[in-house]
């Protein structure tokens, strides 16, 4: 019988986008602790700094730039072999609480390009190299609770893009299964991070209490809460799991 335990990531090459954010960096550090060689990808270096941390290296990359993504994944292949573990954590909501009739074309396309098209760019290039090398792999896309239901903060483009990430995940899982490439998705709830602290602060005590009343666990999530679901999907022990979305939201959304 196949042993169903986490085996670690020794000798594997991983790419984590959005790794300057709290969630991406927490995931990258966990993979490095498991033995992976991890490329921490973002448009800016992690504010905490990763210099000297074993298994981590930073690469500047704008995932909305298709040519740059192509060049980056070729660099990964050339310098250590194709990435067999890919986490697409880059993204952001853009402006919040904007009525739909005031959303500009530019704002709409910017958010969709970052959250959905950027994820597609990275999936496409990762798959090209895995197929060429004949290697299995695991891709985890980060969506959002807004992509599974809706957001209360008026982020129309973000909700649409994150729903698109879930659809892209399912479609790629169906297509890539015969190649041994698994594609899954994690949908966080409201997580305390560098990208949300300002918005959470604007909620005020009453609105925050109202939000928490809808969270079964009764608390906001932390970046570290996202690590275990992602690692589960990446690990070989989940080798028969693909096309799935886990809501990591403390019990805010309970879908079958």
Q: What's the pLDDT at 201?
A: 67
The C-alpha atoms of residue 31 and residue 16 are separated, in whole angstroms, by: 10
pLDDT in tens, 7-57: 589 999 999 999 999 999 999 999 999 999 999 999 999 877 898 899 999
The C-alpha atoms of residue 178 and residue 166 are separated, in whole angstroms, by: 20
- CB half-sphere exposure, 37, CA atoms < 13 A: 12
pLDDT in tens, 103-144: 999 999 999 999 999 999 999 999 999 999 999 999 999 999
- Mean pLDDT for all residues in the chain: 91
Structure letter (DSSP) for residue 58:
E
Q: What's the pLDDT at 153?
A: 74
Under the banding of pLDDT at 50, 70 and 90, the label for residue 169 is very high
Provide the CATH number for the domain formed by 13-193+223-247 in this structure: 3.40.50.720
Check: CB of residue 158 under 8 Å from CB of residue 107.
no
For residue 15, count other CB atoms closer than 10 A to its CB. 28
**Burial state string for 139-158 with b = 16 or more CB within 10 A and e = fewer than 16:** bbbbbbbbbbeebebbbbbb
Q: Among the options 58, 150, 158, 240, which is catalytic? A: 158
More confident residue, 173 or 150: 173
- Residue 158 annotated among the catalytic residues of the structure: yes
Residue 211 phi, psi dihedral angles, 5° rounding: -60, -45
pLDDT in tens, 96-114: 889 999 999 999 999 999 9
The C-alpha atoms of residue 142 and residue 122 are separated, in whole angstroms, by: 13
Q: What's the pLDDT at 249?
A: 87
CA angle, 225 as apex, 222 and 229 as ends, to 5°?
150
Tokens 């910017």 belong to residue = 110
pTM for the model stands at 0.92
Question: Which residues, other chains included, contact 128 with Cβ-Cβ below 8 Å and sequence gap of 6+?
Answer: 73
């Amino acid at each position: 019988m196949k042993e169903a335990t986490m085996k670690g990531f020794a000798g594997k090459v991983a790419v984590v986008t959005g790794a300057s954010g709290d969630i991406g960096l927490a995931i990258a550090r966990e993979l490095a602790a498991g033995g992976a060689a991890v490329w921490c990808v973002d448009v800016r270096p992690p504010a905490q700094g990763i210099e000297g941390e074993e298994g981590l290296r930073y690469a500047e990359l704008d995932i909305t730039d298709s040519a740059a993504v192509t060049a980056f994944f070729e660099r990964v292949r050339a310098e250590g072999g194709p990435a067999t573990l890919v986490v697409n954590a880059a993204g952001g909501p853009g402006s919040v609480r904007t009525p739909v009739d005031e959303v500009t074309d530019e704002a709409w396309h910017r958010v969709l390009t970052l959250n959905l098209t950027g994820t597609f760019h990275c999936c496409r290039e990762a798959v090209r190299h895995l197929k060429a090398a004949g290697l299995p792999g695991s891709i985890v896309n980060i969506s959002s609770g807004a992509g599974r239901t809706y957001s209360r903060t008026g982020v129309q483009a973000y909700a649409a893009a994150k729903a698109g990430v879930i659809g892209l995940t399912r479609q790629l899982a169906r297509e890539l299964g015969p190649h041994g490439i698994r594609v899954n998705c994690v949908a966080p709830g409201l997580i305390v991070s560098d990208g949300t602290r300002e918005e959470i602060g604007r909620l005020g005590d009453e609105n925050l209490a109202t939000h928490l009343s809808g969270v079964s666990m009764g608390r906001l999530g932390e970046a570290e809460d996202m690590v275990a679901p992602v690692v589960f999907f990446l690990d070989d022990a989940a080798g028969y799991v693909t096309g799935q979305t886990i809501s990591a939201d403390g019990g805010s959304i309970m879908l079958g």
